[in-house]
Amino acid sequence: MKWTGCSFAVLCLMFLSSTLVDGGILRWWDRWWKFHRNPFVSSSLIFEDCGTKYDVISINLSSCATAPCTMHRGTNVEVKAEFSANGASTDSVLKHEAYFILNSVKTKAVITPTTCEGSVCPLQGMQGLLFSADIYVNADLPPMQLLVVVLLSVGFSSIVFADVVTVHQCKQGPLPVSVDVTGCRTTPCELAKGQDAAVLVDFTADRHLTALVPKVHASFGGVTVPFELPDDRKDGCQWLVGGVCPVSQNEDVTYELRLPVLAVYPSMSLTVELQLVDQDNTVATCFQLEAKVV
């Protein structure tokens, strides 16, 4: 599949599937959306949003018109999602993924993309855009309850929502595939006092990861100090965009860092280093970013 620029989750949906027998009961939950333009399929089912960047208009499943739905093992289920680009306009490449999650164990599902067929798609702002894909329901699945995650991510040939910036290698750990800092196109990136700096880190896991802990350090004037994150941001697994731990080897992962820049910080230039450390205290990925507090 062609891939350019940065990547982040445009569409991330979770739905619960329970007691798979010859088929199974599928219940979408949390939000209810209706088509407001010429609908491609019936009115939306209920689902849970797990990190969507665009506005979701409707979600539909081929196996039913209203919940609860039936998923038959050994068959394909078509998922259709209509969403809005929030006023942006760019050329984009779509990447589709789907997962079954049982007791926090994530298994990648077989998914056949039917949108764009891997080519460049124009995303026009304020227009209903349709994502459609077939998910294969494995015939070997036992009767159980599981969570299904559908992730639609996008790679930009021209950066609009997030900007890929230049980062530097750390002493330990591989560089990520890309680093996107909101509002920054070139380094040093400006970190505004009193605000969170939003950073998206795309990396490929080179081994099985059951834990991810972010460790941030700031270096200035020959001094390096740890950057303490709030308690709710210390578990990197909770800040994966469209994914969960454990992470499989060779899996593409997007981690979101929300770095609080306090109003009391002095104005200065500094180097920010982010390490993502795994369950064995080994660095899964690391980069250094030139920045300045303003």
- The backbone torsions φ and ψ at residue 142, rounded to the nearest 5 degrees and listed phi first, read -80, 170
**Residue range 276-286: average pLDDT?**
95
| Contacts of 117 by beta carbon, 8 Å cutoff, 6+ apart | none
Higher pLDDT pick, 292 / 150? 292
**Residue range 157-185: average pLDDT?**
74
Q: Which of 50, 254, 276, 48 is nearest to 155 (CA)?
A: 254
pTM: 0.49
Q: Which two tokens stand for residue 263?
A: 């109003």
The predicted structure's pLDDT at residue 182: 84
Higher pLDDT pick, 73 / 210? 210
Q: Which of 57, 240, 234 is nearest to 153 (CA)?
A: 240
The predicted structure's pLDDT at residue 117: 47
pLDDT tier for residue 49 given thresholds of 50, 70 and 90: low
**Residue range 244-258: average pLDDT?**
91
The predicted structure's pLDDT at residue 79: 76
The CA distances from residue 267 to 51, 188, 294, in Å, are 33, 13, 5
Assigned CATH class of 168-293: mainly beta
The predicted structure's pLDDT at residue 22: 41
| Contacts of 221 by beta carbon, 8 Å cutoff, 6+ apart | none
**Residue range 152-178: average pLDDT?**
66
Residue type at 243 in one-letter notation: G
The predicted structure's pLDDT at residue 269: 95
**Residue range 204-230: average pLDDT?**
93
- Calculate ∠ Cα 93-98-104, nearest 5°: 135
Position 286 pLDDT exceeds 90: yes
Higher pLDDT pick, 288 / 81? 288
The full set of domain ranges for the chain reads 55-137, 168-293
